[in-house]
Amino acid sequence: MESRLTMNQSIFQKLEVSWEYPVYFTENLFDEKNRVFLEAICRKESDKKHRFFIAVDDNVAKAHPGLEEKIFRYVSRHSGELDLVAPIFSIPGGEAAKNEHAWIENIHQKIHSLGLCRQSFVVAIGGGAVLDMVGYASSTPHRGLRLIRIPTTVLSQNDSGVGVKNAINAFGKKNFLGTFAPPFSVINDSQFLLTLSQRDWICGVTEAIKVALLKSPDFFSYLEQHAPLLVNRDISIMQNVVYNCAELHLKHIRTAGDPFEFGHSRPLDFGHWSAHKLESLSQYRLRHGEAVACGIALDTLYSVAMGFFPAEQGNRVIHLFQSLGFSLYQPEMEQENFLHGLAEFREHLGGILCIPLLSAIGSSFEVKDMDAKKIQDAVFFLKKKNL
């Protein structure tokens, strides 16, 4: 059918894409009788042999010296479905993985040389930084391979590892380069948590505190009541914390209406405008969880100072962090460019500043600007109290 094209015509295109991915909770993942890894890979196509390679956090490899042999035995037992196409290779753990861009090229080269296609898998085993980097690297060849995340820290099991984001650091900015690419599957094996240092064991609880403050007074009370057991490394309590935090995180992604953050609002980033800046200012001396603890404490005190949040509830927040052993003041908070974190956060959000603040435990709202003097007063309070 012929038609005459006139000026100012347009075609409005609307697409809806449905995503789904399971988050498994298990123990001893690579025990030969455990079928979770097999299910995680074969869940869509059970009648074919699946090609994949594995990248592992070197901290995990050192803490679990028998891990590689266990994986090989597992793959051998299920050789009809699993095809591990290359030796397992290690990646530096922590922020080093996100700061060194050569690792991206390394993974791209492996995907190219192994002839992997979009239905092939990249399996990432490690902490949040390694998962972020491997996820970013695997989301670009062929416009995305299938990613299996196996988080090995509290922070990655209850927060970053179950989400839809991948990123690396660049130009001195946290997560400057990244993609929204949901994983194919996520597997949380609580046995990986047992070898964490005390520092990393506790660090991940900050994201649980954050999501409890935003979403669930009952979960916050649970964290208060069980803080001594968490400090003493009670694995059953930590399993509950990880599961409930991950569930609340996943529910937010699923129901909040903006899973790929097209808008400016990011309520789950409570305390993060300063946390991201603290990480970079400290040259990543601070773990992400430690920086988030400082950021939450700062924005909690700011909420109190502005009259948004009851002081007695603010005291509960500070006391919980103290009972877990966090230092809530860092000298970088007094550096001249610390407040530049607000401008960087605004840029990250798409040009409009949206800062989540608290109105009650379990309830939050957003503001478009913050009073620099009141922020500095909150920093001074944390320093004075030596929190």
Are 369 and 286 part of one and the same domain?
yes
Are 67 and 166 part of one and the same domain?
yes
Residue 165 lies in a domain: yes
The answer to whether 57 and 96 are in contact (CB under 8 A) is: no
Specify the pLDDT at position 230: 97
- Domain boundary (195, 213, 230) is at 195
Residue 71 lies in a domain: yes
In the chain, the number of structural domains is: 2
**Which CATH number goes with the domain that contains 314?**
1.20.1090.10
**173: containing domain:** 23-195
The answer to whether 183 and 144 are in contact (CB under 8 A) is: no
Are 170 and 224 part of one and the same domain?
no
- Domain boundary (162, 195, 228) is at 195
Does the pLDDT of residue 261 top 90, yes or no?
no
Token pair recorded at residue 107: 């993974």
Does the pLDDT of residue 336 top 80, yes or no?
yes
Count of beta carbons in the 10 Å neighbourhood of residue 385: 11
Are 95 and 66 part of one and the same domain?
yes
Residue 2 lies in a domain: no
Token pair recorded at residue 108: 């791209």
- Domain boundary (172, 195, 218) is at 195
Does the pLDDT of residue 183 top 90, yes or no?
yes
Give pLDDT tens digits for 268-279: 789 998 999 999
Beta bridge partners of 84: 52
Give pLDDT tens digits for 78-123: 999 999 999 999 999 988 899 988 999 999 999 999 999 999 999 9
Angle formed by the axes of helices 340-348 and 272-281, to 10°?
Answer: 120
Are 165 and 222 part of one and the same domain?
no
Are 266 and 371 part of one and the same domain?
yes
Q: Which tops the pLDDT comparison, 52 or 11?
A: 52
Specify the pLDDT at position 17: 80
Specify the pLDDT at position 265: 54
